[in-house]
Structure 1
Amino acid sequence: MKATQQLHALGQSLWLDNITRPLLDSGALARYITQYSITGLTSNPTIFEHAIGTSDAYDEAIARGTSKGQAGEALFFDLAIADLRRAADLFRPVFEATGGVDGWVSLEVSPLLAHDAKGTVAAAVHLHQLADRPNLYIKIPGTPEGVVAIEESIFAGVPVNVTLLFSAAQYQAAAEAYLRGIERRVAAGLDAKVNSVASLFVSRWDVAANKRLPGALHNRLGIAVAAQTYRAYRELLALPRWHRLAAAGAHVQRLLWASTGTKDPAAPDTLYVEALAAPDTINTLPEKTLFAFSDHGKVQPSLQGDGNGGDATIAQCREAGIDIDALAEQLQREGAESFSQSWAKLLDNLANKATPSSAKTDP
């Protein structure tokens, strides 16, 4: 049995952390589903900025949209939703077979709304209706304002992928928002089944901390934070509060490992996949990591729900001078800023591609 299949047998879903039009047109995504047990995918502004800015695959569609008067964000979402609908349709059999637990794709709201709760909710509702696919998540960042938007979006019936989470505390805030949204739906007599995932970013911890830590602690902090978060996740699922919602028909807000490509060339290329193998979770992988894990990855239940010694590692990092709470806030802030920068580049690329080359040349 392939390593990717073994992870599924363990209870972990594998999603692709990428989408491009050539990936769809070439049949590569369909092959990943059959060859690598991929059962979903995620996207973000950086992924689309790269896909559109470095390829001519979207040029014809950009020209068509421009001729209809589309520009800026409206043009981008038209392009992105076209891709994500196709991907959602590929994953629809998994979605149906698992009763909506798996088989999802994700579309992020504008990162410029990261600190605008009201605007985020309006965008989430609009984009989900526009996409018109039951297995499409709307990604909302787990910023303080985003947490407000998560609860309201869940209450409104919008499936949410909470993004940019960097600590157990940030995860717990997002999970609370999800629970409150479902509880409000139950109290209002609405369907309790509005799906959600909570995405914890892992490798960015080590990128930020390695240069400030002794070699023995390199590439261990992200995994320790993930272990703490997995413990919080399992503890939440044991609460009577959750059992009441599950009895009403609610689905678990699954924990998703994001940013799992190895950034340190001295570390194993399958580090974060092997270390984060755990039931009832999702790992979203860049293609390079997916191929590496399929080729030589090893599978064993790595996280047990007891923290896996993560507390001790975090204590050592604190002693070495890392302020864990401050770094979590910094990483979330920098993540939001990075997506905003990608968003600006993306819109610039669209504007440049929409302008005929003759119009760019001085007479």
Structure 2
Amino acid sequence: MTRLWLDNITRALLRSGTLAGYIERLSVTGLTSNPTILERAIDAGGDYDASIRVLVEAGFSGEALLFELALEDLSEAADLFRPAFDASGGDDGWVSLEVSPRIAGDAAQTAAEAIRLHAQAGKHNLFMKIPGTAEGVRAVEEVIFRGVPVNVTLLFTPEHYLAAALAYLRGLERRLAAGLDPEVESVASVFVSRWDAAVKDSVAPELHNRLGITVAKAIYQEHVALLASERWRKLAAAGARPQRLLWASLGTKDPAAPDTLYVDALATHDTICTLPEQTLQAFADHGEAIGTLPKEDSDARAVRELHRLEGVDVTELGTRLQRDGLAAFAASWEKLLSSVEGKREARASA
């Protein structure tokens, strides 16, 4: 059975009992978030004003205030998911907190901040989210070595995935060499639907909404091959757990396509799907997951070749999608900082 996680968090979602209802009725076993989701949640209304007032009076400002707000929500969510975490032995029940996009270009600072924030949160079932850029994967290795669980985000291509997976392996190997327990959890978050939105206007109609699933299948095949490698088997024998694939960006952006297109195609027992609320509800109502993914897929290779003939360079496009994704998160972060700072200043003046 595939794992279903919710790709959203708001204070209203928590306080209204909606998230608890998703856990009970729709078998939701985890949660992801990002700066854009946080920005929309805090900007949506006055749900956070009381907390902002208390934090301002306590002397918080800027990013410190933002992280306090985020951790209030994520700590509450982590407690809701703790039974799933305990029952599954750590496979389920996770929530995620993103490191500041401002330091994404500095591996050492990203690693240090991830370690600090995880300790501050004090939640065993909290992933620190780190982007799968060149600097990000350097940070991933260090954070894993230090024993902090990581959600590697903004992965698009098989090359992105392998860089993240190998960073995870290096971190575990360093732990083993140092006599430390190699059981440190990680997921690799692969973004899917953004591929199809990016090529919709440049490929033939018969290729619409096919590239994202095709690239995801190629990544799955790399994942299977890595877990069959001697290098991984040595780590597994020592007690390490595999870094799992988490399919993200699964909301269908094309109104002409099925609303459960991506989750139906990719949901399988050994992966995780994180879904926006609308997609989660649609999947619960009429989703039809395939159940397994092929280790080899000639049709997927053919689709990639057809895109190449249409002028789509998957490696180049994946690099751009990752760069654009990081820029979008950074823009949301700056907008959120500005909004919260405005509220802080208004409170200070009052």
- TM bucket (normalised to shorter chain) is over 0.9
Q: Please say if 1:258 is aligned against 2:248.
A: yes
Q: What does residue 182 of structure 1 align with?
A: 172
The answer on whether the counterparts of 1:227 and 1:308 sit within 8 Å (CA) in structure 2 is: no
Question: What is the root-mean-square deviation of aligned Cα atoms in Å?
Answer: 1.2
CA distance in 2, matches of 1:206, 1:195: 30
Letter in 2 for 1:221: L
The answer on whether the counterparts of 1:275 and 1:302 sit within 8 Å (CA) in structure 2 is: no
CA distance in 2, matches of 1:193, 1:302: 26
Instruction: Report the alpha carbon displacement of residue 301 of structure 1 after superposing the two structures with TM.
Output: 2.4
CA distance in 2, matches of 1:315, 1:176: 27
What SS does the corresponding residue of 1:39 show, helix, strand or coil?
strand
Q: What does residue 334 of structure 1 align with?
A: 324
2:139 to 143, 149, 163: 149
Q: What does residue 52 of structure 2 align with?
A: 62
The answer on whether the counterparts of 2:53 and 2:347 sit within 8 Å (CA) in structure 1 is: no
1:293 to 277, 283, 298: 283
Q: Please say if 1:284 is aligned against 2:285.
A: no
Deviations 1:86-129 (A, max 9, x none): 11111111111111111100000001122110110011000100
Letter in 2 for 1:138: M
Deviations 1:219-263 (A, max 9, x none): 000000000000011111111211111111111100000000000
Instruction: Report the alpha carbon displacement of residue 325 of structure 1 after superposing the two structures with TM.
Output: 0.7
Deviations 1:160-190 (A, max 9, x none): 0000000111000100000000011011100
The answer on whether the counterparts of 1:16 and 1:285 sit within 8 Å (CA) in structure 2 is: yes
Instruction: Report the alpha carbon displacement of residue 355 of structure 1 after superposing the two structures with TM.
Output: 2.5
Letter in 1 for 2:120: L
What SS does the corresponding residue of 1:278 show, helix, strand or coil?
coil
Deviations 1:259-297 (A, max 9, x none): 000001111000001011222100000000001111111
Q: What does residue 213 of structure 1 align with?
A: 203
Instruction: Report the alpha carbon displacement of residue 312 of structure 1 after superposing the two structures with TM.
Output: 1.0
Deviations 1:33-80 (A, max 9, x none): 011100000010000000001121100000111111111100010010
Letter in 2 for 1:117: A
2:4 to 14, 23, 40: 14
- List 4+ stretches of structure 1 deviating above 4 A: 357-360
Letter in 2 for 1:241: R
Letter in 2 for 1:134: H
Structure 2 gaps, min length 5: none
The answer on whether the counterparts of 1:230 and 1:307 sit within 8 Å (CA) in structure 2 is: no
Letter in 2 for 1:255: L
Counterparts of 1:46-57 in structure 2 under 5 Å?
A: 46-57=36-47
Q: What does residue 21 of structure 2 align with?
A: 31
Instruction: Report the alpha carbon displacement of residue 300 of structure 1 after superposing the two structures with TM.
Output: 2.2
Q: Please say if 1:90 is aligned against 2:84.
A: no
TM-score norm. by structure 2 comes to 0.98
2:181 to 164, 170, 191: 191
The answer on whether the counterparts of 2:269 and 2:292 sit within 8 Å (CA) in structure 1 is: no
1:269 to 259, 265, 283: 259
Q: Please say if 1:222 is aligned against 2:212.
A: yes
TM-score norm. by structure 1 comes to 0.94
Q: What does residue 127 of structure 1 align with?
A: 117
Letter in 1 for 2:57: S
Instruction: Report the alpha carbon displacement of residue 352 of structure 1 after superposing the two structures with TM.
Output: 1.6
Q: Please say if 1:242 is aligned against 2:232.
A: yes
What SS does the corresponding residue of 2:201 show, helix, strand or coil?
helix
What SS does the corresponding residue of 1:192 show, helix, strand or coil?
coil
The answer on whether the counterparts of 2:75 and 2:121 sit within 8 Å (CA) in structure 1 is: yes
Letter in 2 for 1:100: G
Instruction: Report the alpha carbon displacement of residue 130 of structure 1 after superposing the two structures with TM.
Output: 0.6
